[in-house]
């Protein structure tokens, strides 16, 4: 008997088989080659990834819509509160006028007793002080950059209006003992302390502004925590606000410098000075001459480097200074 010769293939073929069993007829088998199986698997994975990405995108869109609606409601609430505050101020102003007229009439009438006049005066003073305090809470918040309803300089105008109102609300010119007079002193001191006085003469040009800049000497970008101002022909440097000198000295960066603490969270710094005529512990007034500008420290020419810090954070002085 002859032996059978020949090659038998040992190569395995991978299939994905589907068996269909109909109610009538024989079983049918569908085979799918291995590469097609992989193709189907890859397609399924891509579909799942696409569905997942689509779901995530829809959720982000939905969340953004929700945040937008919430933000709009917050804005509407702020506007509503502002309108209520304006109504309150208008009503308080009317009451001030009515009470002032009432006190004037009472003072000229012999029928009303001195006790009644004093009562009216006390009520009037309390009303004025309450009105001022309600407004001052907003102004102090603005001065520290904590309000989005008005700028610092708008708050400054409100403060000056309050001072004029308090002055006119006094019942006599020589009043030095009433609550109204004490409130006038408090407001005036606060205004004097704010660093708003332009600290150099005859120059309103800012040679180098606040923020990130290319350093003129080191030639790389870094933060500039103040502004550079001043002309060599007008060397005097003045205190931007009333306060206490808390630091003087010299270092490689600022050269000769002076730091004044104005209270209420404000400090001002004056650098590159040729000299200064104050010492630590001195109390200075707004507009008082404290130094002469120079070219000391890291400087390319005679000028004043001026900074304002609010609660320890450097802030753009242009937002506070008033040119004169």
Residues 154 and 259 placed together within one structural domain of the fold: no
Residues 149 and 216 placed together within one structural domain of the fold: no
Domain-embedded: residue 32:
no
Residue 168 pLDDT grade (very low, low, confident, very high; cuts 50, 70, 90) = confident
Residues 176 and 238 placed together within one structural domain of the fold: no
**pLDDT value at position 147?**
57
C-alpha to C-alpha distance for 48 and 295, rounded to whole angstroms: 68
**pLDDT value at position 228?**
95
Residues 306 and 226 placed together within one structural domain of the fold: yes
Taking only the tens place, the pLDDT of each residue in 171-197 is 777 778 888 888 889 889 999 999 999
Residues pairing with 251 in the sheet: 255
Domain-embedded: residue 19:
no
Residues 243 and 171 placed together within one structural domain of the fold: no
Domain-embedded: residue 8:
no
Residues 108 and 137 placed together within one structural domain of the fold: yes
What is the number of domains present in the chain?
Answer: 2
**pLDDT value at position 16?**
55
What is the domain extent for residue 301?
206-319
Domain-embedded: residue 17:
no
Residue 8 pLDDT grade (very low, low, confident, very high; cuts 50, 70, 90) = very low
C-alpha to C-alpha distance for 280 and 257, rounded to whole angstroms: 12
Are 178 and 171 a contacting pair, CB within 8 Å? yes
**24 secondary structure, DSSP code:** S
Domain boundary among 159, 193, 227: 193
Domain boundary among 152, 172, 193: 193
Q: Which residues neighbour 159 within 8 Å (Cβ) at sequence distance 6 or greater? A: 136, 139, 187, 190, 191
Residues 189 and 69 placed together within one structural domain of the fold: yes
**pLDDT value at position 108?**
61
Span 80-91, average pLDDT: 77
**pLDDT value at position 233?**
94
Residue 12 pLDDT grade (very low, low, confident, very high; cuts 50, 70, 90) = low
Q: Which residue has the tokens 């600290």?
A: 199
pLDDT over 80 at 107, yes or no:
no
Q: Which residues neighbour 268 within 8 Å (Cβ) at sequence distance 6 or greater? A: 195, 199, 239, 240, 241, 243, 259, 260, 262, 306, 307, 308, 309
Residues 157 and 247 placed together within one structural domain of the fold: no
Q: What CATH number does residue 241 fall under?
A: 2.70.70.10
Domain-embedded: residue 222:
yes
Taking only the tens place, the pLDDT of each residue in 222-279 is 788 999 999 999 999 999 999 999 999 999 999 999 999 999 899 999 999 999 999 9
* Residue among 241, 225, 253, 192 at smallest CA distance from 315: 225
């Amino acid at each position: 008997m002859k032996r059978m010769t020949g090659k038998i293939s040992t190569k395995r073929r991978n299939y994905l088989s589907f068996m269909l069993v109909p109610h009538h007829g024989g079983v049918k088998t569908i085979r799918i080659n291995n590469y097609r199986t992989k193709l189907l698997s890859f397609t399924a994975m891509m579909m799942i990834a696409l569905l997942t990405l689509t779901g995530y995108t829809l959720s982000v869109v939905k969340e953004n819509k929700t945040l937008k609606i919430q933000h709009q409601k917050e804005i509407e609430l702020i506007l509503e509160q502002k309108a209520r505050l304006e109504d309150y101020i208008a009503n308080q102003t009317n009451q001030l006028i009515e009470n002032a007229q009432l006190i004037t009439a009472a003072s000229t009438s012999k029928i009303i007793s001195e006790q009644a006049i004093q009562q009216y005066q006390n009520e009037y003073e309390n009303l004025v002080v309450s009105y001022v305090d309600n407004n001052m809470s907003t102004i102090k918040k603005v001065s520290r950059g904590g309000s989005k309803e008005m700028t610092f300089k708008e708050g400054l105008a409100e403060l000056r209006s309050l001072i004029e109102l308090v002055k006119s609300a006094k019942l006599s010119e020589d009043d030095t003992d009433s609550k109204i007079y004490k409130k006038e002193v408090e407001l005036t001191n606060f205004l004097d302390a704010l660093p708003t006085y332009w600290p150099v003469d005859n120059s309103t040009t800012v040679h180098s502004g606040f923020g990130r800049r290319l350093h003129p000497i080191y030639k790389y970008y870094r933060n500039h925590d103040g502004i550079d101002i001043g002309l060599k022909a007008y060397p005097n440097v003045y205190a931007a606000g009333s306060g206490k000198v808390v630091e003087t000295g010299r270092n490689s960066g600022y050269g000769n410098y002076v730091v004044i603490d104005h209270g209420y969270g404000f400090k001002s710094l004056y650098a590159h000075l040729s000299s200064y005529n104050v010492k630590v512990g001195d109390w200075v007034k707004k507009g008082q001459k404290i130094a002469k500008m120079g070219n000391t420290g890291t400087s390319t020419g005679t000028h004043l480097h001026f900074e304002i810090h609010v609660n320890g954070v450097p802030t753009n002085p242009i937002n506070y200074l008033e040119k004169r």
